[in-house]
Amino acid sequence: MKIIEAKDIVYKYPDGTKALDNINFAVEKGDMVALLGPNGAGKSTLFLHFNGILEPSSGEIDVDGEKLNYKKKSLLRVRQFVGIVFQNPDDQLFAPTVEEDVAFGPLNIGLTQEETKKRVKDSLRKVGMEGFEKKPPHHLSGGQKKRIAIAGILAMDPKVMILDEPTSGLDPKGASKILKLLYELNAEGMTIIISTHDVDLVPIYAKNIHVIKDGKIIKKGSPHEVFDDVSVIRKADLRLPRIAHLSEILDKQDHFKMSDSYPLTIGEARKSFMEFIDK
Amino acid sequence: MALDIDFIAHNSNLKNFNPNFKVLISFIFILVTLIANSPIVSLIIFAATAILIILIAKTPIKDYLQFISIPLLFSIITCTFMLFFLGSGEIIYNTGIFNITIREDSLNLAYSTFLRIVACFQALGFLTLTTPIMETFNVLSKLKIPKIFLEISMLMYNSIFIFLKQFELMTNSQKTRLGYNGVKNSYRSLGLLVSNLFIKSLNRSEALQNSLDSRCYGGEFPVYEK
């Protein structure tokens, strides 16, 4: 079942330039999807359509099988259903303490203080930030702020979580912690959509990839379907994962080919290398 | 690096002391100083708050000095002007330049004003250096200060840190390219800095609005009872 679907979305800036040009984008329930694209391709703009912050110039958005309408009441429902974690946590964290910030969403929905307290506790535990309840967000590190921002969305109990560049600006350890967390949430049934240009990480977690360039989706499919089409990847100002790039060079310059399509992750590379040796 | 008052407050020895009392003490000190209008009372309040801040709250002396240095500087400038240009009483010192003199009543006015400013400021400093800002907000909301004021102050308070950080980043990047080499360059760089900060602030406020809306913000900040 499609949990989020964008049909023929066009979004124009006031000056008439098209930020999004006929976007068709669908996500199955329980999927973990990556939206891959260079800076300024329209990733964030598309995301802001999914919870009704932006209204398309033409086309429609379906959330959970229902057409999104822009009345106040249904917007509240949609924003609870689809949570967006913004790229810069400083834009999102505004309350003087961590717990107040996480409590912001649940209280806005109208939950009681008791229920909110429970949600704050649960979501801070999920992101591994227990014990930081009373701290002011601006005293935390980038990775910690990101996790608090995620907790603030989790506390609203959304069914879909959208993250705009969740690993940008984080150190490698912070980035892999965030991804591990997202992996766990996905395993619990949360549908997750991530925008990124980190091509090395994408094949590790995403089941489905959409490539966006200049406001258009130019390729979609499984990691192998997308990365096997090297010309599209390069056209979108992206590159192959390092390990695939190495295999490409080995193939083209040294005529050494381990498998039919280039491995995208270290795990895959190891597997096909071992198979090659055994042959 | 800007002085992070909230950080000091969070590490203060008096952090867990009842914030209602801290607000009360601070306001009583200020009221007494203003009503008594006597240099001796101001001095006593100054000494008392200094003891509270340094010895009891255990605020690091360096932070404390940095904290009071700016208001101290301003009050010295203000009171110097008072000293030379006000008053009509008996002349006690004539500088001999442009007939600028120090008169008996202007001397009194200058030093009593100086002590009052410093005492009041320190009474307020006692509050800010020992009480995390959100606790102060809580007390103020209990005192029925209109919600809109508190919400605006809270957002402003939060934005100050982002603004200062941005300011620091941008000045550093300008300094890297010798933007403050000479008076002419400095003026130009400062102008660019201010206009860019303005545009950046607008963008940030839009981003903040989007993120608030995404969490079902309804125009009023809900209160979370701890």
- pLDDT tens-digit profile of B186-208? 888 889 998 998 898 888 888 88
* B1 band by pLDDT with thresholds 50, 70 and 90: very low
Better-scored residue on pLDDT, A274 or B94: A274
Closest CA to A181 of A197, A165, A192, A168: A192
Q: How far from B42 is each of A230, B54, B81, CA to CA, in Å?
A: 77, 18, 21
Letter string b/e over residues A223-232, b meaning 16 or more CB atoms within 10 A of that residue's CB: bbebbbeeee
Interface test with B, best of A87, A104, A150 (most B CBs within 10 A): A104
Q: β-strand A32-36 against A208-213: which pairing, if any?
A: parallel
Q: Which of B137, B215, B224 sits opposite A156 (nearest CB)?
A: B215
Task: Encode pLDDT of A2-36 as tens digits.
Answer: 999 999 999 998 888 889 999 999 999 999 999 99
What is the ipTM, given to two decimal places? 0.81
Closest CA to B75 of B42, B40, B115: B115
Contacts of B7 in chain A (CB under 8 A): 139
Q: Is B123 exposed, middle or buried (0-12, 13-18, 19+ CB in 10 A)?
A: buried
Contacts of A169 in chain B (CB under 8 A): none
Architecture of domain A2-239: 3-Layer(aba) Sandwich (3.40)
Question: What is d(CA A244, CA B99) in angstroms, rounded to the nearest whole number?
Answer: 85
CATH 3.40.50.300 boundaries in chain A: 2-239
Q: Where are the domains of chain B?
A: 5-139, 146-214
Question: What is d(CA A58, CA A53) in angstroms, rounded to the nearest whole number?
Answer: 15
Q: Which of A53, A94, A153 sits opposite B213 (nearest CB)?
A: A53
Half-sphere exposure of A69 (CA within 13 A, CB side): 5
Q: β-strand A66-67 against A82-85: which pairing, if any?
A: unpaired
Contacts of A103 in chain B (CB under 8 A): 222, 224
* A168 band by pLDDT with thresholds 50, 70 and 90: confident
pTM of the model: 0.76
Nearest CA in chain B to A51: B214
Q: Which of A94, A138, A139 sits opposite B155 (nearest CB)?
A: A94
Strand partners for A208: A33
Question: What is d(CA A28, CA A64) in angstroms, rounded to the nearest whole number?
Answer: 10
Nearest CA in chain A to B135: A96
